Amino acid sequence: MKKSIKSWKFIPCLVLLLALSLIVGGCGTNSQTDAAGKEAYKIGAVIDISGNSSSLGVPERDTLKMMEEQLNAKGGINGHPVELEILDNKSTEQEAVTAVKGLIDKGVLAVIGCSSSGPSMAMIPTVQNAKIPMISLAAASSIVEPVSERQWVFKTPQSDIVMVNKIIGYLQSNNLQKVAFMSMNNSYGDGGKKTFAVAAKESNITIVAEEKFAADDKDMTPQLTRVKASGSQAVIVWAIPPSASILTKNFKDMGLTIPLIHSHGVGNQNFIDLAQGAADGVILPIGKLAVADQISADDPQKKVLDNYITDYTKKYNSAPNSFGGYAVDAFNLLVNAIEKAGADRTAIRDQLEKTQGYTGISGIFNMSAQDHNGLKPDSAVMVRIENGKWKLIK
Amino acid sequence: MGEQLLQLLFSGLTVGSIYSLMGLSIVSLFNITGILNLAQGEFVVIGALIAVSLCSIGMPMIVVFPVSILLAALLGGLIERLTINRARGASNLNMLIITIGISISLRGLALLIWGTDTYSLPAFTKGGPLFLGGAALNPQSIWIFALAVVNFAGMYLFFEHTYWGKAVKASVNNRTGARLQGINPHTISLLAFVTAGGLGAAAGVSIGPITMVTYDMGFMLGVKGFVAAAIGGLSNVSGAVIGGLFLGILEAFSSGLISSSLKDAISIIILILVLLFRPEGIIGAKRERKI
């Protein structure tokens, strides 16, 4: 009897909690209309702002906010202001799916995200079912392949295969035939590993050791010990910071002298800073943004790159990186498509697929019904890190 | 092969001493207050992040180390006064849940102040790794190991060989009895949290150069520390050290010799096995229960 009386006390608390959650939930943004009375176009974004991939997500969020401001200052799309809602997926698959479902319920026209491959992959079934165009900012080729199962999904970073071919080219021209491959134990690492294994086989490069590590591992010495014993002539690593930086430090500490080749996942200053000097000598394929000051003046991307660097640096007091660049391209591709298609999701998707000759930060995009990325190998360059700076390898 | 094994041993000892440090702090707080502090990992992170901020304004490491310990100790004391002290008399389960709350709040606080970036801290001593028998050893690992040893020695002497250490342990078992002897359990609880905060910061500043610092890395550290402490039987100071080193070495060898994807699974499996078959710890802690 005493117990039942006690439990009565909880009920008002529960009611209060429920009421509170309803109030908070009900505070969603109402669509604004501008002075001319045209309804705002809603776009959603799900970004890895906190968690393991935050080094990717934060510049992306900052870039998207800047792009939204610039666009609305210019009068939006055909007079419609753009309302961009950016949600954080905490770098997890579950939060990404919850976030995208929430955005779809709010009636967004399209979704940008996520920053990393795992959460992007997790959102695909949801957007495919809801028939909402999605532009991912993550690298794995499997996000847009096979296109027959990914009609609604596009992505702006160079696919793994573009970067893998750059690396293979470097290995061949330096006559390195036995390599070790190390990857993060997630979709990004697995994507790179699969693509590299296929490409290496075709070009007679032998993988003598394959190692994995977790995104939050603190010491990769055991894996590197195995690599050292394998007699490989170079190490290829498919990871993002901080684990990529820790690995690089361990690599140097162990006194390994073979070439260390990273993927474009380390294409930000954060990687170099965290490695505390150990990053010098690291070789990687990367978009042209990082070396915009070193590419030739007649490069078709030169002007786009310089504009973005100027705008971003002015607003945030730090240089942009390739991840922010992926967001620029996603936002612009979407704006171009909405401009032609209006507030019709199917038409937006069709327009995205028809994108031709869009000159962006990551390259020149030519999409088709077979290619939802649209970038060619010429969109990347090989760089070497020297004194904490990116140096173009010519 | 010998060189490879030695390298794995060094790696295991480095990671193991980090776990030992975590385990030691958890055990000491448990011994003094009877509270299993699941926020210990957050103390480590906050301590390390304070050090990051102090370093960024140009303080030398020799000043940063004590100042961050001091600040984190103050924070530990403040938290004890605001939460644990207000809930005095609550059951140990309630206290455990409160520490989970503290851990979530501290993580949120770290996120608000320092954001999601990963930071690095400078190593205590400059210079590259040492090479012993062909295997590389990071000098910072020696510092971490030394800190674990000093911590261990201090606590062992305090708890086992001083009157006060024994008195403190006794006050956990019998609060009324302790009071009658003139020991105020509330003051002891405050001091225990001040120490936990300070020890956490000391661990954080020393492991920062190796592990880097992110606002959310405390949880996993806390779990590993808990496993280390549980292997040693939760109230046993030497058990926590041995448990931590054992766990680190086992992880290094299993990822270096079998497969690197097994690592985290192994520590959780060990935790389950220990809790199932030897809840008193694998190192004869039964002696303690007989007192």
Counting one residue from chain A and one from chain B, the pairs whose CB atoms sit within 8 A come to: 99
Yes or no, beta carbons of A225 and B220 under 8 Å apart: no
A384 and A242 share one domain: yes
Measure the CA–CA gap between A29 and B13, rounded to whole angstroms: 53
Q: How far is B43 from chain A (nearest CA, A)?
A: 18
Yes or no, beta carbons of A254 and B136 under 8 Å apart: yes
Q: How far is A92 from chain B (nearest CA, A)?
A: 13
In this structure, what CATH number is given to the domain that contains residue A185? 3.40.50.2300
Q: How far is B141 from chain A (nearest CA, A)?
A: 11
Encode pLDDT of B134-162 as tens digits.
888 888 999 999 999 999 999 889 888 88
Does any domain span residue A18? no
Yes or no, beta carbons of B18 and A218 under 8 Å apart: yes
Yes or no, beta carbons of A245 and B120 under 8 Å apart: yes
Q: How many domains does chain A have?
A: 2
- Say whether residue B160 is in contact with chain A using an 8 A CB cutoff: no
Q: Record the tokens describing residue B135, joined without a space.
A: 């295997």
pTM of the model: 0.79
Parallel/antiparallel/unpaired status of strands A389-392 and A380-386: antiparallel
A273 and A169 share one domain: yes
A285 and A273 share one domain: yes
Yes or no, beta carbons of B8 and A222 under 8 Å apart: yes
Please, which pLDDT band fits residue B244 given cuts at 50, 70 and 90?
Answer: very high
Residues of B in contact with A241 (CB under 8 A): 118
Please, which pLDDT band fits residue B284 given cuts at 50, 70 and 90?
Answer: low
Parent domain of A343: 41-158+303-375
A133 and A232 share one domain: no
Residue of B4, B216, B253 with shortest CB distance to A51: B216
A266 and A225 share one domain: yes
Beta bridge partners of B179: none
A141 and A194 share one domain: no
Does any domain span residue A171? yes
Q: Are A150 and A124 in contact (CB under 8 A)?
A: yes
Does any domain span residue A386? yes
Q: What is the CATH number of domain B2-289?
A: 1.10.3470
A164 and A196 share one domain: yes
A115 and A45 share one domain: yes
Residue of B4, B11, B220 with shortest CB distance to A216: B220
- The pLDDT value given to residue B289: 45
Does any domain span residue A246? yes
Q: Are B46 and B172 in contact (CB under 8 A)?
A: no
Chain B residue with Cα closest to A217: B211
Note the ipTM here: 0.80
Sign of the dihedral through C-alpha B58, B63, B69, B73: negative
Does any domain span residue A284? yes
Domains of chain B by residue range: 2-289
Q: Residue B97: what are its φ and ψ, rounded to 5°?
A: -65, -35
Does any domain span residue A339? yes
Q: How far is B95 from chain A (nearest CA, A)?
A: 21
Encode pLDDT of A54-86 as tens digits.
888 999 999 999 999 999 999 999 999 999 999
- The pLDDT value given to residue B165: 84
Does any domain span residue A80? yes
A86 and A228 share one domain: no
Residues of B in contact with A54 (CB under 8 A): 116-118
